[in-house]
A and B are shown apart, each in its own frame.
Chain A
């Protein structure tokens, strides 16, 4: 979908480098799951764009639907889940495609790094086979060529002695090394779109920083668009250009890294930032929290999903979901009580 200034849901980018058309354009993406108790909406009409060379963070707490956004785009939803809306990748619709149709781009033009490197690599296959098969399937490379490329890439993700270690099994690697293998696996075919689902959550804090740095560096080299899903604001701060704040399956706020971190508008974003411990601010006593629990039946109730926990809550909050409005700079906000200054008519 080309961006025109007239459209109400335009995500025009302030950054000059992103003046080009987005590589991924998601519109009104909803993900629903059929459960024995009834249908549950995990993602509710989410729209966003991704451009080459940018890293977008999708932040939210457990159950906010952030992982399901990525899984639905990859065609990896659980069998009881379904996605509606539109997602155009390089001007091709990818939503609602069969696995077979998606296999042409999955793992090559568009790839994904998963959360848990302990279980996401096949324990019964050598790392070499798990890497080379991607190149053999997608690019028709011979085993030998593929092995050469895979070893080079393991070198790039700084696995020492890559030539020897590529013949090992996943359990012979440490957690951080396995995540490096995972990253190499996703980058084999030089994708233009990279998804990362909590890529450092399962890792030691000391390893997290190295992995994030590596991820950022490799994405820059590829000039790929990266969407990284996390609940960790530290990850966002380290890596992302833009941030999407998700709550209850809906976008609450979206802006550049500086806008979100230094000028948060949505009460949820503010709460999220306030409850993050910081080394540079001595908080006395307890760590701040957002009171209450995320509501269970996400998106199925009227009103703002955050309203039961919101300090600014007023009457309309419980009856009508605030619209997601955007300003000229592409910043977006969905709140009845804390509007953007530069509001569109």
Chain B
């Protein structure tokens, strides 16, 4: 198990290297640079700025310098956010995104799995159709609609919860967490329903019934594990996406997370920030996938860590 984790971690280094290379050169192929959008700068100032950020060196050298820096956990300074290094920006924003994202995924997993099981076991009844309706709503209505509607109803109209912002009180968490969770609830409930229906038809569930174990035990002990596998496979990558910050939700609720850096950095051609955020995101995805595989191994004895 420990060996497996080490092996997978080492195996992710080439992946991250390729990710870094592609991002780096693609970014440079695109026209413009970090200073092209600004008010007119004199050629002397521009040259000085470019020298300060090493943009005057040959591209290959810049790339190797960047990789060298990354190997020392130095992701360089942000070009647009003066006085901040990329690591600092991620360090400031990530805990907030992580908090919102983890809660959202936790809520989504619990509610989604419960709804999915209910739909599968009460198939083609009003329960099933209600679950289906919730899923359709969650999948069809984008979060930039759900968010503001929730704000105006629970925040403005009922005055139950703060409309936006980020404070110490848990009340600030509820709306963004639910908004972020809803599409995942929808997807997970569909996934869970489908796999549960499939599992309930397997021969081994029939065996469990023939053993007279009772419906409850049959479902909890015999059907659930197998039915969870596809959901776990989805949860890993989905969690990676969610905890690295949703630009839309963070904008709507004014949450100081890192979601906005994804877009800001790209628009401003803040090269080090784009690289930093991409590599950070890549690492999280790889980590989430590793975690997914470990959990799958715990659920499914046929998966071995060899």
Chain B residue contacts of A123, Cβ below 8 A: 204, 226, 300-302
Contact A107–B215 (Cβ < 8 Å) = no
Q: Is A119 in contact with chain B by the CB < 8 A criterion?
A: yes
B26, CB-defined interface residue at 8 Å: no
A77 CB to closest chain B CB (Å) equals: 10
CB of B14 to closest CB in A, whole Å: 33
A50 to chain B, nearest CB (A): 17
Per-residue CB contact flags for chain A residues 145-184 toward chain B (1 = under 8 Å, else 0) read 0000000000000000000000001010000000000100
Partner of B215, one of A76, A99, A129: A99
Q: Among the interface residues B204, B209, B217, which one has the most CB atoms of the partner chain A within 10 A?
A: B204
User: Would you give the shortest CB distance from B201 to chain A, in whole angstroms?
Assistant: 9
Interface: B213 (CB within 8 A): yes
Known contacts A124-B300, A169-B302; is-contact A104 B212 (Cβ 8 Å): yes
CA distance A107 to B207 in the complex (A): 9
Quick one: which of B208, B214, B299 contacts A122, CB cutoff 8 A?
A: B208
Q: How far is the CB of B49 from chain A (nearest CB, A)?
A: 60
CA distance A185 to B206 in the complex (A): 14
- A344 to chain B: which residues have CB within 8 Å? none
Known contacts A123-B301, A124-B299: A106-B221 contact under CB 8 Å: no
DSSP majority for the B interface?
A: helix
Measured between beta carbons, the chain B residues less than 8 angstroms from A100 are: 214-215
Q: Which of the four size classes fits the interface of chain A? A: 20 to 34
State the CA gap A124–B221 with chains docked (Å).
Answer: 9
Q: Mask for A103-127, Cβ within 8 A of B = 1, else 0?
A: 1111110011010100111111110
Give Cα A138–Cα B211 distance, bound, in whole angstroms. 9
Determine whether B50 belongs to the interface, using a CB cutoff of 8 Å to chain A: no
* Alpha-carbon separation in the docked complex, A137 to B302 (Å): 27
* CB of A13, distance to nearest CB on chain B (Å): 28
Q: Is A74 an interface residue when CB atoms closer than 8 A count as contact? A: yes
Evaluate whether A106 and B211 lie within 8 angstroms (CB atoms) in the complex, with A124-B299, A125-B221, A171-B301 already known.
yes
A134/B204 contact (C-beta < 8 A), A123-B226, A123-B301, A169-B301 known: no
Q: With A103-B214, A137-B214, A137-B217 given, is the CB distance from A120 to B203 under 8 Å?
A: yes
- Chain B residues, CB < 8 A from A133: 211, 213, 217, 221
CB distance from B161 to the nearest CB of A (A): 41
**Are B203 and A116 in contact, CB atoms less than 8 angstroms apart?**
yes
Question: Does A310 interact with chain B (Cβ within 8 Å)?
Answer: no
Task: Assess whether A99 is in contact with B209, with CB atoms less than 8 Å apart.
Answer: yes
Q: Taking the complex as formed, is B222 at the interface, i.e. its CB lies under 8 A from any CB of chain A?
A: yes
Docked Cα-Cα span, A220 to B32, in Å, equals: 88
- Is B225's CB within 8 Å of the partner chain A? yes
Q: Is A102 close to B, CB under 8 A?
A: yes
Check A124–B211 contact: CB distance below 8 A: no
Residues of the A chain whose Cβ atoms lie less than 8 Å from the Cβ of B222? 122, 125
Question: Which of chain A's residues have a CB closer than 8 A to the CB of B38?
Answer: none
Partner of A120, one of B207, B221, B225: B207
Pair A138/B210 contact, Cβ less than 8 Å = no
A103-B213, A104-B212, A137-B213 known; A124-B207 Cβ under 8 A: no
- Closest beta carbon of chain B to A167's beta carbon, Å: 11
Q: Is the Cβ of A122 less than 8 Å from the Cβ of B204?
A: yes
What separation, in Å, do the CA atoms of A134 and B211 have in the docked complex?
Answer: 7
Residues of chain B within 8 A (CB-CB) of A137 are 211-214, 217
B206 CB contacts on chain A under 8 angstroms: 76, 114, 120
Decide yes or no whether B169 CB sits under 8 A from chain A: no
| Residues of chain A with a CB closer than 8 A to B217's CB | 133, 137
> Digit string of B199-242 for contact with A (CB within 8 Å is 1, else 0)?
00011101111111111010001100110000000000000000
Which residues from B are CB-within-8-Å of A121? 204, 207
Chain A CB within 10 Å — which of B203, B211, B300 has the most? Answer: B211
In the bound complex, CA of A125 to CA of B223 (Å): 10
CA distance A75 to B214 in the complex (A): 13
Residues of A within 8 A of B211 (CB): 106-107, 111, 133-134, 137, 185
Measured between beta carbons, the chain B residues less than 8 angstroms from A124 are 225-226, 299-301
Given the known interface contacts A124-B299, A124-B300, the answer about A106 and B203 at a Cβ–Cβ threshold of 8 Å is: no
A120–B202 Cα distance when bound, in Å, is 8
B207 adjacent to A122 (CB under 8 Å): yes
Query: Closest approach, in angstroms, between the C-beta of A166 and any C-beta of chain B?
Result: 14
Q: Select from chain A the residue with minimum beta-carbon distance to B206.
A: A76
Q: Find residues 9-61 in chain A having any chain B CB closer than 8 Å to their own CB.
A: none
Give the residue name and chain of the B residue nearest to A129 (CB).
B221
User: Closest chain A residue to B302 by CB distance?
Assistant: A171
**Distance in Å from the Cβ of A175 to the closest Cβ of chain B?**
14
Nearest CB in chain B to that of A102: its residue: B212
CA distance A293 to B301 in the complex (A): 43
A307 to B93, CA, bound (A): 80
Chain A residues lying within 8 Å of B214, measured Cβ to Cβ, are 100, 103, 137
Contact B209 A76 (CB under 8 A): yes
A48 to chain B, nearest CB (A): 21
A173 to B299, CA, bound (A): 19
Residue from A106, A119, A122, A169 having most chain B Cβ neighbours under 10 A: A122
Q: Contacts A100-B214, A171-B301 given; indicate if A114 touches B207 (C-beta within 8 A).
A: yes
Query: What A residues does B225 contact at CB under 8 A?
Result: 124-125
Bound CA–CA A102/B221 (angstroms): 19
Binding site for A on B (CB under 8 A): 202-204, 206-215, 217, 221-222, 225-226, 299-302
Shortest 8 CB-CB contacts between residues of A and residues of B? A106-B212, A107-B212, A107-B211, A103-B212, A119-B203, A124-B225, A169-B301, A122-B204
Give chain A's interface residues, CB within 8 Å of chain B.
74-76, 99-100, 102-108, 111-112, 114, 116, 119-126, 129, 133-134, 137-138, 169, 171, 182, 185
13 contacts between A and B (CB under 8 A): A74-B210, A99-B215, A106-B210, A106-B211, A107-B211, A108-B212, A114-B210, A120-B203, A122-B208, A122-B222, A124-B299, A133-B213, A185-B207
